[in-house]
Amino acid sequence: MAYRRMYKSMEKKLTIYDIAKEAGVSTATVTRVMSGHASVRPSTREKVQAVIDLHGYTPSAIAQDLENGKNKTIGIILPEIINPYFAQLFNAADDEARQSGYSVWLNQLPSYERVEDSLVDDLIRRRLDGAFFMGGIWETQRPGLMEAINRLGQYMPIVALCPPQANLNCICLYNDLTSCVRHAVRHLHVLGHRRIAFIGGSLQVGGSGARGQGFLDELRALGLPDDPAYHHEGGFDAESGERAVQRLLSGLEKSRWPTALVAFNDLVALGAIKQLKQIGLKLPEDMAIIGCDNQFFCTYTDPPLTSMDLHPEEHARSAIRELLSAKDHNTPPFNLMRDATLVVRESCGAKLGYRKMG
Amino acid sequence: MAYRRMYKSMEKKLTIYDIAKEAGVSTATVTRVMSGHASVRPSTREKVQAVIDLHGYTPSAIAQDLENGKNKTIGIILPEIINPYFAQLFNAADDEARQSGYSVWLNQLPSYERVEDSLVDDLIRRRLDGAFFMGGIWETQRPGLMEAINRLGQYMPIVALCPPQANLNCICLYNDLTSCVRHAVRHLHVLGHRRIAFIGGSLQVGGSGARGQGFLDELRALGLPDDPAYHHEGGFDAESGERAVQRLLSGLEKSRWPTALVAFNDLVALGAIKQLKQIGLKLPEDMAIIGCDNQFFCTYTDPPLTSMDLHPEEHARSAIRELLSAKDHNTPPFNLMRDATLVVRESCGAKLGYRKMG
DNA sequence: TTGTACGCGTTATCAG
DNA sequence: CTGATAACGCGTACAA
């Protein structure tokens, strides 16, 4: 037994013509009533409005879009919304766009996967008003990404959350990750740490390279030993953190264990903390750790995780604003750097004060 | 100095007419070439394709949408993507939709806020193929929501993640939260706990009511005391958890403290754990705790958090599938219930075995 | 103040 | 196989 007319969409779709006919006016008048701008005789207005209300008529956005040749939509491309860091970015971008009467269209592009032409085609096909590529992308080799951005950039303004790169034709918003990591290392040094290791991420590639560089730079600047056994790459999530700690410590005599860890990000730190405790270490007494991203759970780890805030919301809001303004004013590409902020909690032993360490 | 022709979108927009003219054919033929379905003489095909490639022409999706009267888009309404639970749901829905060639349009509708007509108008205006309302919504009074859903339901199929309700005309997917909480309480009881408290959420309203009911039901069934001082509502996030613990314990002599906590969800549990430790309690020895949602960080709390898995991904995938099939087959509304699964970790003392407790 | 007619970019239909 | 032409639903000149 089939159900009929369950949805109005199943009935004859209601168009502006239907309203016009039923109200005994032209479609132009209906438009006038709805927009409210033009002047309509009060009696006609009422008559038309009555019909509109009666049927609950709402004009089709797709027809409107066609009419004025745009979407009022901005495409957002990120690796995975599951990652709270990207959720945070997305959320701020969404909010900012909405405030300007724009919508946002989310596209997940998993890390490690090749950038397919079909994604770019999709974005072009939709006639978006701009595209915002956010991070995670440069942390790994991403075949095809730069070409994709450059092609897409011929159709709409683009903002990317990444350090500026040669031949990358878009607005780049980024953090000075080198100085960010140097900041972290310095914090640990001030607290007395001398054997410091870096875990997670990937020291060679893309944006991660900057962190690795910062790490090494600061070690040198402080005159600390630069032991290759103290670099353990591996990934961007909590499991990577667990594994990194395991590999790091199992490869070293106890006497040579570092006293502090710089984690690629908070997720890596989260995993590291678990593994460190499992080994029986007390935090921060036996091992200090610092994360990056200042995620919501930093307050709730035990001990609370000291971290670097990269100010993702501000980046996201800038991105949207620049996108909209670039569309209007045809702004030439530029780049914008933000400093990171150290958020001191307890995982580095700040409360314990300075200690002389082996 | 203004930049010119930076984006192709700034130039005269390339349409199918332009391609047709330049290739010396009609627009119909261009369409045929692009779709590949109809038969075109190879030589013409090549000729047309050459022009297409030359200019990188991509047909406008908005015109296509107008033509076939649909979007291939499903609207998703959730409180906040920042909450990892909803991110998880969204992600699964997105993936499922994509697999069927559909897109997803995210709309955040903060809890506690009234459902504006403008949101519903927006959804209707876009001529979506369906809408998926997900949770958090029924946890609080939501003036206007039911009316909104019922109005929207006249235009497109709707799936909601909530228990079926009278006068709510949509497909409801839900968990049996009553039995879910009873399950949790039983787990604690088996481990020896006799004084059990419930924190977070709201016992009276909507979906939360079911949890509160389950809590009370199981206490009664087990012959445990039902002490009003053991119910502490308050919210859905980590901070709420902190406050709830504070209020709960400060209002009770130590001898009457519960030995176990049922938290509304994992975020509440996260906050509770922090506060419990701050008070100096050992977990799970001095206080057991069980969460709900089985979020990613459950593995990484200390101790790892025992939780209930509500299988959000399965719900989300069902939702999308039902939405698409409802559109095609005009299925009558129905409801679908899923059981929750207990995921035992260490926060309830399962490793310690049964203990006789005060 | 109101109506007519056309354009927006595609696809589909129907001739040829 | 190919080309006109009519939809699709709306806004907007332009005319009345």
Show the 3-state SS of A299-357.
Answer: HHCCCCCEEEECCHHHHHHHHHHHHHHHHHHCCCCCEEEECCEEECCCCCCHHHCCCCC
Question: How far is residue B210's CA from residue B202's CA, in Å, rounded to a whole number?
Answer: 10
Pick the more confident residue, B244 or B135. B244
Q: What is the mean pLDDT of chain A?
A: 89
Report, as an integer, the average pLDDT of A29-51: 92
Dihedral of the alpha carbons of A59, A62, A65, A69, in degrees to the nearest 10: -140
Task: Please give the pLDDT value at position B175.
Answer: 92
Which tokens is A63 given? 């027809």
Share of chain A above pLDDT 90, in %: 69
Q: How far, in Å, CA of B329 to CA of A6, rounded?
A: 11
A9 in contact with chain B, both atoms CB, cutoff 8 A: yes
Give the per-residue pLDDT at A113. Answer: 78
Nucleotide nearest A17, from its CA to each C1'? D9
**Which nt is closest to the CA of B29, judged by C1'?**
D2
Q: How far apart are CA B149 and CA B226, in angstroms?
A: 37
Handedness of CA B142, B144, B150, B151 (dihedral sign): negative
Q: What is the domain class of B2-67 according to CATH?
A: mainly alpha
Choose the most confident range, by mean pLDDT, from A89-103, A112-126, B224-238.
A89-103
Lowest-confidence region among A86-90, A259-263, B142-146, B195-199: B142-146
Measured distance CA(A212)–CA(B319) in Å, rounded: 44
Residues 48-107 of B with CB under 7 A from strand D: 63, 66-67, 69
pTM, whole model, 2 decimals? 0.92
Going A311 to A135 to A85 to B77, the CA torsion angle's sign is: positive
pLDDT band per the 50, 70, 90 thresholds, residue B231: confident
Strand C within 7 A of A45 CB: yes
Q: Which residues of B touch A300 (CB under 8 A)?
A: 238, 270-271, 273-274, 301
Name the nearest CA neighbour of B271 among B227, B239, B233. B239
Q: Is the pLDDT of residue A223 over 60?
A: yes
Q: Which of A4-13, B172-181, B278-287 has the highest mean pLDDT?
A: B278-287
- Measured CA to CA in angstroms, residue B207 lies from A206, B145, B165, B201, B260 at distances of 46, 14, 11, 10, 23
When the pLDDT of each residue in chain B is averaged and rounded to a whole number, the result is 89
Q: Is the CB of B41 under 7 A from strand C?
A: no
Residue with the larger pLDDT of the pair B162 and B63: B63
* B10 CB and strand C closer than 7 A: no
Among B residues 325-354, those touching chain A with beta carbons less than 8 Å apart: 330-332
Poorest-pLDDT segment among A12-16, A83-87, B206-210: B206-210
A25 CB less than 7 Å from any atom of strand C:
yes
Contact A84 B80 (CB under 8 A): no
Nearest nucleotide relative to A18: CA against C1': D9
Q: Please tell me the predicted confidence (pLDDT) of residue A355.
A: 73
Answer yes or no: is pLDDT of B5 > 90: no
Q: Which nucleotides of D are covered by protein (CB under 7 A)?
A: 1-5, 7-13
Which H, E and C letters describe chain B, residue by residue? CCCCCCCHHHCCCCCHHHHHHHHCCCHHHHHHHHHCCCCCCHHHHHHHHHHHHHHCCCCCHHHHHHHHCCCCEEEEEECCCCCHHHHHHHHHHHHHHHHCCCEEEEEECCCCCCCCHHHHHHHHHCCCCEEEECCCCCCCCCCCHHHHHHHHCCCCCEEEECCCCCCCCCEEEEECHHHHHHHHHHHHHHCCCCCEEEECECCCCHHHHHHHHHHHHHHHHHCCCCCHHHEECCECCHHHHHHHHHHHHHCCCHHHCCCEEEECCHHHHHHHHHHHHHHCCCCCCCCEEECCCCCHHHHHCCCCCEEEECCHHHHHHHHHHHHHHHHHHCCCCCEEEECCEEECCCCCCHHHCCCCCC
Digit-coded pLDDT (tens) for B257-312:
999 999 999 999 999 999 999 999 999 999 999 999 999 999 999 999 999 999 99
* Residue A155 touches partner B, C-beta closer than 8 Å: yes
Higher pLDDT pick, A137 / A209: A209
- B130-133/B158-161 β-pairing: parallel
CB of A277 within 8 Å of any CB in chain B? yes
Look at strands A171-175 and A231-232 and give their pairing: unpaired
DSSP A55-97: HT----HHHHHHHHT---EEEEEES-TTSHHHHHHHHHHHHHH
- With bands split at pLDDT 50, 70 and 90, how would you rate the model's confidence at B339? very high
CB B264, CB B236: distance < 8 Å: yes
Distances, alpha carbon A317 to alpha carbons A73, A88, A343, in Å: 15, 11, 22
Q: Does B10 touch chain A (CB under 8 A)?
A: yes
Cβ neighbours for A250, distance < 8 A, ≥ 6 positions apart: none
Cα separation, A241 vs A249, in Å, equals: 12
Minimum CA–CA partner of A157 in chain B: B7
- Minimum distance, in Å, between the CA of residue A299 and any CA atom of chain B: 9
Determine the residue among A3, A6, A299 to mutate to test chain B binding: the one whose Cβ has the most chain B Cβ atoms within 10 Å: A6
Distance, angstroms, CA A150 to C1' D2?
A: 37
Name the nucleotide nearest A67; use CA and C1': C8
Q: Between A232 and B50, whose confidence is greater?
A: B50
Q: What is the DSSP-derived secondary structure letter of residue A170?
A: S
Q: Do the Cβ atoms of A91 and B82 come within 8 Å?
A: yes
For the cut 70, the answer to whether the pLDDT of residue A233 exceeds it is yes
**What's the pLDDT score for residue B16?**
96
Counting Cα atoms < 13 Å in the Cβ hemisphere of A256 gives 12
Q: Which amino acid is at A11?
A: E
SS3 category, A142: coil
Give the number of other CB atoms < 10 A from CB of residue A152: 24
Q: What is the pLDDT of residue B3?
A: 42
pLDDT band at A137 (very low <50, low <70, confident <90, very high): low
Write down the pLDDT at residue A333: 74
The residue ranking higher by pLDDT, A209 or B308, is B308
Residue A325 has pLDDT above 50, yes or no: yes
> What's residue A3's pLDDT?
41
State the average pLDDT over residues A109-137: 87
**Nearest Cα to A265, choosing from A222, A313, A297, A300?**
A297
Domain covering B73-175+312-338 assigned CATH 3.40.50.300 in the classification: no
Contact (Cβ atoms closer than 8 angstroms) between residue B289 and residue B259: no
Nearest residue of chain A to residue B86 (CA atoms): A82
| Residue A122: pLDDT over 70 | yes
Label residue B204 by pLDDT band (50, 70, 90): low
Band of residue B117 on the pLDDT scale cut at 50, 70, 90: confident
Residue A268 clears pLDDT 70, i.e. is over it: yes
The arrangement of strands across the sheet holding B288-290 comes to B231-232, B196-199, B260-263, B288-290
Nearest residue by alpha-carbon distance to C1' of D11: A67
| Two tokens, residue B275 | 């506060």
**Three-state DSSP class for A294?**
coil
Q: Which amino acid is at A204?
A: Q
Q: One-letter amino acid identity for B160? A: A
pLDDT of residue B236: 85
Pair of tokens at residue B10? 């700034």
Sequence-distant (6+) residues with CB within 8 A of A197 are A230, A231, A232, A248, A258, A260, A261, A262
Q: Determine the average pLDDT of the residues in B73-99.
A: 96
Q: Which of A181-185, A204-208, B128-132 has the lowest mean pLDDT?
A: A204-208
End-to-end CA distance of chain A: 80
- Give the pLDDT confidence score for residue A1 in this predicted structure: 34
Architecture per CATH, domain B177-311+342-352, reads as: 3-Layer(aba) Sandwich (3.40)
Q: How far is residue A341's CA from residue A78's CA, in Å, rounded to a whole number?
A: 23
Q: Determine the nucleotide nearest to A45 by Cα–C1' distance.
A: C1
Q: Is the CB of A72 under 7 A from strand D?
A: no
**Cβ neighbours of B169 (radius 10 Å):** 15
Q: Do the beta carbons of residue A249 and residue A279 sit within 8 Å?
A: yes
Q: Is the pLDDT of residue A87 over 90?
A: yes
Neighbours of A38 (CB within 10 A): 10
Residue span(s) of chain B under CATH 1.10.260.40 come to: 2-67
Residue nearest to nucleotide D4 (CA to C1'): B26
The shortest CB-CB distance from A271 to any of B3, B61, B300 is to B300
B193/chain A closest Cα distance in angstroms: 25
| Contacts with B, A 26-55, CB within 8 Å | none
Separation in Å, CA of B68 to nearest CA in chain A:
11
d(CA B236, CA B251): 21
Q: What are phi and psi of A261, to 5 degrees?
A: -125, 135
User: Is pLDDT of A2 > 50?
Assistant: no
Residue A204 has a pLDDT of 55
B4 touches strand C (CB under 7 A): no
Q: What is the helix (H) or strand (E) element at residue A216, kind and residue range?
A: helix A206-222
Q: In chain B, list all ranges with CATH 3.40.50.2300.
A: 73-175+312-338, 177-311+342-352
Q: Which of A91-105, A331-345, B258-272 has the lowest mean pLDDT?
A: A331-345
**CA atom of A39 to C1′ atom of D14, Å:** 17
Q: Say if residue B303 is preceded by a cis peptide, omega within 30 of 0.
A: yes
Cβ of A119: how many Cβ atoms within 10 Å? 18
- Within 54-93 of B, beta carbons closer than 8 Å to A belong to 56, 58-63, 65-66, 69, 71, 80-82, 84, 87-88, 90-91
Q: Using the predicted structure, report yes or no on whether residue B358 has a pLDDT greater than 50.
A: yes
